[in-house]
Amino acid sequence: MRWYTVLAVLVALVVLTTGSAVFAQCEQPPYGKVVNLANVTMPGGGNMVEVGQLVDSRITRIQVPKDGNFAVEQVGGDAFWVEYRVLAYCKGSEWIPVQDTKLDIRRTEKQPEPIQLPPTRVVKKGESWQEIAKEAGVSEEDIKRFNQATGRKPKADAKIFMAQPSDVLRTWNFANGDPAGIELKDQLRLMNVPEQVRAQWESIIGGNQPDSVWMYSTESKPLVLDALIFGGRFSKDVKSWGRTVCYWKDAKNHKPIDRLVALQYDPVDLGDYRYYLYQFVDCQNGAFVRVPLSYEGSTDVTIQQPPPVSTAAPPTQTVATPITAPPETSHNFVQGGVWWLDYRLAYADVRDDAYQHSVFGGLEWLPRISGYDGWGPFCDMSTVIRVEQAVMDKNHVSGEYRLGGRAWILGDLQGLWRTGFEPGAWYLSSQREYVQYTNVTPTLIHAQEKAKYFDGYGWYGRILGITPQLGYYEMTYKRGTNLDYSLGGNYTVEPGKFYFRASYDRALRKEQARHFDGQTLSFSADTMRVFEGRIGIKPVDKLVLYASYDSWSYDSQVWSFDWNGPGAGFEYRFNRYWRIKGLYKFMNDTTDRNLTNGEVTHTDRHWFGIGLDHGW
C-alpha cells in the first residue's frame, strides 16, 4: 500500500468522525444523569425552560430550549412525581453549568382513546364457522382470522367479532375455563414488554406484596388487556395472547360476569407509558395493561436577593453563592473517542536528503459497553479500538492497531479523580522502501527499488486517569513477539495559570530474524529511551505556551545515538473538544555511533511540527 493511499484513507476517516461528532448532541455529562424535556409540558405550553446561570458573578435567569438534554441529579419524589437539581444543559456539544435551579416533573395517566370494536354476536350451540361466515357475508377463513381462531368449531356461548377489528384483538370469554399452569415469574417471559420493564417486575414479584383489586368489564365498556397468558398445566402448553377484549362468562353455567378479582403489582414507568401487571386470582392468568402518560414540568430558580435598604447605613448587596459545578477535567480525558493528525518536518545537515517530511495520525474510539451514574467501581466500561498510522519521508509506512476494553474502577463522587484500567491486544506492521545499488562495472551502477516488511503482535495493559488541577496520567506496558517489553507513561497537571508535563518511554526489542527480498537477516536486540519535560504558562484560558527539554538514546550491537536539546511549543484549545498545537525542537551536537566501523558523527537536528486533535 502506497503512502498516499494510507494518508487518503486516514483523512477520510477523520472527516467521517468529525462530521458525526460536530453535529451530535453532547450525550454523557461528567456528572449526573441526562433527561430530555421534549415531551414534558411546561407552564404556558411554551418550548423554553427557565434556568439560572452565573453571569458577571450574579445568578441570572435565562431561557433555554426544552428539547435539549439536561444533566440533573434527583433530590426527591415518589412514584408519580420527581424533583431534580439541574446541573447543566447541553448547548451544541458542550455542557453549560446551571445554578440554583430545581426541576419538578409530575406524571399523570392519559385517558386512553376508546377502541372502535366491530359488531359481535354470541355463538349458538351447534353452529359452525361456515354458518357464521355466511351470516357475516365473508369467507370461513376471514371469520376465523377476525377472531384469531384455530379450532374447527367455535365454542358455544362465546362472543365473536363479525368484522375485521381495527387492532389485532382476541376475545376472552370464559373467565375460569383455561387457567395458566405456570408461576407468574415464568409468565413474564411470554409477555411482549421492554426488558427494563420485565426486569423491574421480576424484582417487584420477589419483594413486594400486591394489592387485591376488582377488574371490571361490561358490555358497554369492555376491559382491554395488552397481553394475556393463557392455559396449560405445562410450559409447552401455555399461550400468550396480544390485545384481548374481556367478555367474561362462567365456564360452568355460562352466565355473564362483570368483574374478577386480580392481584395488582406496583406499576413501572418507562418512556411515555406506565405498565400495570395483574394476575387473576381464580385462574392464575397473568396480564398487563399499558397506559399512556403525560408529563407536566416546571422549574424554580432561587436567587438570593440583597437585603432591604436601611437609612442608618449604606445598603449592602448580597450576591447568591453559586452552586459549585463538578470540576473541569483535563483536555486529555475523553469518554467517546479522539482523533489526531500531525505533520513533522525534520532537518539534519549530516544527510544528503537533509529534509524529512512525516505525517502521523490516529483514531481511538470508545464505544460504551455499560455504564450508570456515579464514579464507583466499574461504573463505566468501554471497548477500545485504536489505530495509529505513520508516513515518514514517503518511503516508510507503519501502523499499530489495538483492540481492548476499558473500565473505570476507582473514583470519587465529586469527579476530582478517577482511575481506569485497559487490557488488550496490539499488532504492528511496517513497510520501508529503499534503493539497492549494485556495481556492474567500475563506471556502471545498477539501482533497484526494493521494500522490506516486518510486523509483530502481543498484549498490553494500560492505567490512566484524572487528578485535581486538570491532572491526567497514563502508563502502558506491552509485550509481544518482537518485544521483550515496552513501558511508557506521562503525567500532565495545570494548576492555575501554570502547565507541567513529563513523559518517559523505554522499549527493549528482542533479537529477531526478519524475512525480506528472499533473504533471512538477523537484527540484534536494541533499546530505545525517550524523555520529555515541559513547563509553561496559560496567558489566557485557551492558550498554553511552554518550554521543553528532550533526551533520546538508542543502543544496539551495531548502532547507538544520544540526542538532547531544548524546545518550545504551544496548544490552543478552541473548546473542550478541539485543539491545535505546534512545536519546535533543537538538538545541538547530537552524537551517532556506527559500532561496526567505529565511525562517530556529530550534527545539529531541528524539528518543526503542527497538529490538530479532536475528542468527543
Report the distance separating Cα 99 and Cα 68, nearest Å: 17
Q: What's the mean pLDDT in 485-506?
A: 91
pLDDT of residue 543: 92
First to last CA, the chain: 30
User: 244 exposed, middle or buried (CB, 10 Å; 0-12, 13-18, 19+)?
Assistant: buried
Picking from 504, 503, 463, 511, the residue whose alpha carbon sits closest to that of residue 484 is 511
Residue-level pLDDT at 258: 87
Task: Copy the grid coordinates of residue 393.
Answer: 519521508
**What is the predicted pLDDT for the residue at 15?**
45
Q: Per residue in 8-67, pLDDT tens?
A: 555 555 444 444 433 446 767 767 788 888 888 887 777 888 888 887 778 888 888 888
Residue in this structure with the C-alpha cell 358490555, named with its chain if needed: 219
Decide if pLDDT at 234 tops 70: no
pLDDT reported for residue 281: 82
- At residue 3, φ and ψ (nearest 5 deg) are -65, -35
Q: How far apart are CA 462 and CA 483, in angstroms?
A: 17
Q: Is the pLDDT of residue 123 over 70?
A: yes
Q: Tell whether the model's pLDDT for residue 441 goes beyond 60.
A: no
Tell me what pLDDT residue 232 has. 61
Q: Strand 396-411 vs strand 380-392: parallel, antiparallel, or unpaired? A: antiparallel
Using a cut of 0.85, tell me whether the model's pTM lies above it: no
What pLDDT does 576 receive? 65
What is the per-residue pLDDT for 611? Answer: 93
DSSP H or E segment with residue 146 = helix 140-146
Residue 504 has pLDDT above 90, yes or no: yes
pLDDT above 60 for 120 = yes
Whether 133 has a pLDDT exceeding 70, the answer reads yes
User: Where on the phi/psi map is residue 523: left (φ > 0), alpha (ψ -120 to 50), or beta?
Assistant: beta
Dihedral sign from CA coordinates of 125, 127, 133, 139: positive
The more confidently predicted of residues 381 and 561 is 561
Amino acid sitting at position 440? V
Q: Give the separation between CA 593 and CA 591, rounded to whole angstroms.
A: 7
Q: pLDDT tens-digit profile of 550-599?
A: 998 888 887 788 889 999 999 998 876 788 999 999 887 778 888 777 78
Query: Does the pLDDT at position 453 exceed 60?
Result: no
What's the grid cell of residue 551? 533526551
Q: In this model, does residue 457 exceed pLDDT 80?
A: yes
The whole-number pLDDT of residue 160 equals 83
**Span 165-194, pLDDT tens digits:** 877 788 888 877 677 778 888 888 888 889
Measured CA to CA, the distance from residue 260 to residue 281 in angstroms comes to 8
Closest CA to 576 of 330, 365, 325: 330
Which range is most confident: 327-336, 353-362, 478-487?
A: 478-487
Mean pLDDT of 254-259: 85
Integer angstrom CA distances of residue 522 from 174, 321, 436, 465: 86, 70, 18, 40
Which helix (DSSP H) or strand (DSSP E) does residue 20 occupy? helix 3-22
Flag whether pLDDT at 376 surpasses 60. no
* Alpha carbons 173 and 194: distance in angstroms, whole number: 28
Q: What pLDDT is stored for residue 530 in this prediction?
A: 92
* Of the candidate ranges 431-435, 524-528, 592-596, the one whose mean pLDDT is the lowest: 431-435
| pLDDT value for 532 | 93
* Distance (Å, whole) CA 525 – CA 574: 44
Q: Which amino acid is at 502?
A: A
CA distances from 480 to 193, 456, 554 (A): 48, 7, 20
Which pLDDT score, from 0 to 100, does residue 492 have? 92
**Mean pLDDT, residues 309-330 taken together:** 45
pLDDT given at position 18: 44
Least confident of 48-52, 237-241, 397-401, 438-442: 438-442
Q: Are strands 578-594 and 483-493 parallel, antiparallel or unpaired?
A: unpaired
Query: Hey, what amino acid is at 44?
Result: G
CB atoms within 10 A of CB 286: 29
Tell me the C-alpha distance between 486 and 488, whole Å.
7
Whether 459 and 425 have beta carbons less than 8 Å apart is answered as yes
Mean pLDDT, the chain, whole residue set: 78
Average pLDDT of 321-337? 56
**pLDDT exceeds 90 at position 149:** no
DSSP annotation string for 59-96: EEEEEEETTSEEEEEEEEE-SSEEEEEEEEEEETTEEE
The pLDDT of residue 95 is: 84
C-alpha cell at 582: 505546534
- 141 membership: H or E segment, kind and range: helix 140-146
Q: What percent of the chain has pLDDT over 70?
A: 78
Residues 489-525 as b/e (b if ≥16 CB within 10 A, e otherwise) read bbebbbeeeebbbebbbebebeeeeeeeeeeeeebee
pLDDT at 314 over 60: no
DSSP result, 177-198: SS---S-HHHHGGGS---HHHH
DSSP secondary structure of 326-349: PPPPPTT--SSEEEEEEEEEEEET
CA distances from 455 to 162, 395, 401, 483 (A): 74, 17, 11, 11
